[in-house]
Every structure is written in structure tokens, then in C-alpha cells.
Amino acid sequence: MRTIRTNLILALSLMLAFSVSTALASGGEKEKKQRAPKNMGTVTVKTSPVAYPVKIDGEYRGMSGVGEANEFYLTPGFHTIEVEGPGGKIYRQEVEVKKGVKVCICLKTIEETISKPCPYRFSLEGPDSVTEGDPVRFRAIPDIASPIPVKFRWTASNGTITSGQGTDTIIVDSKGMGGRTINAELDVNDDVYDNRCRQVINVPTEIERIPEDPKIEKLRCDEFIAVSADDDKVRFDNCVIMAQNTPDSRLYVIIYPGTDRRSRTVNTYERLSRRSLDYMVRNRGMDPARITFLKGSPRARTSYEVWIVPAGAEPPVAQ
């Protein structure tokens, strides 16, 4: 931040007319200035580094000279000379004008630059990452405590500011932003230092996707051809134990009726389903509400498919 202070230094000097006349007479090829009218005095005004308006006794009379003074002819007596300097500041001097005497007024503008640190400074705070759907909090942290009120203006990419606009802390909604980056940008300004201390800072936050629940799959525990009651029971044992050790699971038994003579007379769907259910409930202690039998399409010989279906998994479909 810079502040500029402008001062004018006023210098007054008197010069005798004969000295000026002598200098003008020896000018060689240079253009000679007009001599002062008879019975008049002269006031010259020179400013540096630029020209300024000159008033004499409240009346505008022209501009000051730069490098070479401008001359103003006045009647003898006291006169008020005014020069309007930078910023409209008036530099006033009362001078006495005498016949044949020149009064020289010289003014120089001095610009003094004073550098000061800004009276406030902020850094941004935000999380590296959050899970999609969680609110994201961004905060402006003062590195230097501000002695003056400051204005906070926030913007956020890939998110919606739900609260805090105009304050040092905002909350951004990350819903639907999984896999993206929310970039919070803060514009800090004030009404005193004319944007010289303005800050525009930002901080990114990664939004992690919500982990998807793994798909629950059914398990085909066994598939075999119906041979005898004892052989079938042995094959059922392992599947019943697995189902009982899987909470809230169900046991699906698909029976595919055979087309051979034995299948059509002994190993029918109705007989095998009743026999299998009775064994699993009475001998293995399986809850009958957790057992489902399905009838499949005919095959050469009667066969079984035994499925364990955990809660939430799709049940098997008989082919």
C-alpha cells in the first residue's frame, strides 16, 4: 500500500529592474521579452515540474511558467498572488510590487512516497478432502488483525454456498460432487485503502465418492444327481450348515425332474421335495421358513441345485 503526500515549497526573491534589463539586452539571437510598461512592476511565477493556474487579486491571469517564469505586469502596491496546486490546494502570498522592480515567485512540487504494510492480511483454511454429502467449511484466518472493517466475498466451484456469505466463514454443500474438487475463492477488500490491499485467495477440497455397498450375491452350494435318500442327505448336510451360519439367509432347492423311468416313478419332484424338507428340518434343525423348493425343467435324470441366498441377494430362478 502506498500513500502519497504532496507539498509545495514557496520561494520569494526580489530582483532589480536594471539587472533584468541588462540580462535581456545581452540575449543575442534569442527572442527578447516585452519590457514592463512605464510606471509598472513585474511579478514572475515559475513552478516545477508542471504549470498551474495563477490568480492575482482574485482574478485568473494565466498559467505559471515551467523552466522559464511567466511575467505579469502590475501597478505598484500590495497584491495577492494565488497558485492553485495539486488537488486544488491554494498557495497564497501577498507581495509588494514596486516600479521597476521584479518579484520572482518560484514553487516546486515535492512528492513524498511513504510505504507501509497493509493493515490486514488473510490466509484460507479448508479440508484436504471430505466424503460426498458432508458439509465443507472454509474459513479466512487473519495473519494480521485488521484494525478496520473488511468485506468478504466468496465464490465456490462445484458446490453451493449454504451459509456464511459476507463473513469470514462459509459452509459449502458437497451433495452430488463426488469425484470433483470444490475450489473456494475469497475476495477480501475494504473501503479505506482503495483496493491497494485487496486479496483474492483460494483453497481446493477434494470430494470423495460415497463407497458403494458391495453387491450381495447368492451362492450355488451344490449341484448333483439324485441317487438315493442317504446320498442326497450327505450332500444336503454341508449346505444346511452353511445356511445356518449365514444370518438371515435362505436355502433354495431347485429340483429338475428326470425323464427316465426311475425319475418318473420313484424320484418325482413331489416325493423328493417332501423327503428333503423333512430331513433338513427334523434332522438338521433348519427353520422351514428359510427353505424354498422350486421345480425346474425336465432333465435326463432327476437332479438338484442347492443355493444359499444371503439377505439382499437375488434368489435363483429355475431354468
DSSP track, the chain: -EEEEEEEEEEEEEEEHHHHHHHHHT-TTSPPPPPPPTT-EEEEEEEESS--EEEETTEEEEE-BSSS-EEEEE-SEEEEEEEE-GGG-EEEEEEEE-TTEEEEEEEEEEEEEEE---S-EEEEE--SEEETTS-EEEEEEEEE--SS--EEEEEEETSEEEE-TTSSEEEEE-TT-TTSEEEEEEEEE-SSSTTTT-EEEEEEEEEEPPPPPPPP--EEEEEEE---HHHHHHHHHHHHHHHHTSTT-EEEEEEE-B-SHHHHHTS-HHHHHHHHHHHHHHTT---GGGEEEEE---BSS-EEEEEEE-TTSPPP---
Residue 317: inside a domain: no
136 and 169 in a single domain? The answer is: yes
pLDDT tens for residues 146-198?
Answer: 788 889 999 999 889 999 999 999 999 999 999 999 999 999 888 777 677 88
CATH of the domain at 200: 2.60.40.10
Give the mean model confidence (pLDDT) for residues 53-66.
94
297 and 238 in a single domain? The answer is: yes
203 and 225 in a single domain? The answer is: no
pLDDT tens for residues 295-315?
Answer: 999 999 999 999 999 998 999
27 and 72 in a single domain? The answer is: yes
pLDDT band at 15 (very low <50, low <70, confident <90, very high): very low
7 and 105 in a single domain? The answer is: yes
User: Which of 95, 114, 133 is the last residue before a domain boundary?
Assistant: 114
User: Which of 98, 114, 130 is the last residue before a domain boundary?
Assistant: 114
The whole domain housing 82 covers 2-114
Q: How many domains does the chain have?
A: 3
Q: What is the pTM assigned to this prediction?
A: 0.42
CATH of the domain at 243: 3.30.1330.60
CA distances from 293 to 131, 218, 244, 260, 269 (A): 44, 16, 17, 21, 10
Residue 294: inside a domain: yes
pLDDT tens for residues 197-235?
Answer: 888 999 999 999 988 777 889 999 999 999 899 999 999
203 and 239 in a single domain? The answer is: no
Residue 159: inside a domain: yes
Q: How far is CA 122 from the centre of its chain?
A: 14
pLDDT of amino acid 32:
42
131 and 188 in a single domain? The answer is: yes
CATH of the domain at 75: 2.60.40
Residue 150: inside a domain: yes
73 and 171 in a single domain? The answer is: no
pLDDT of amino acid 33:
55
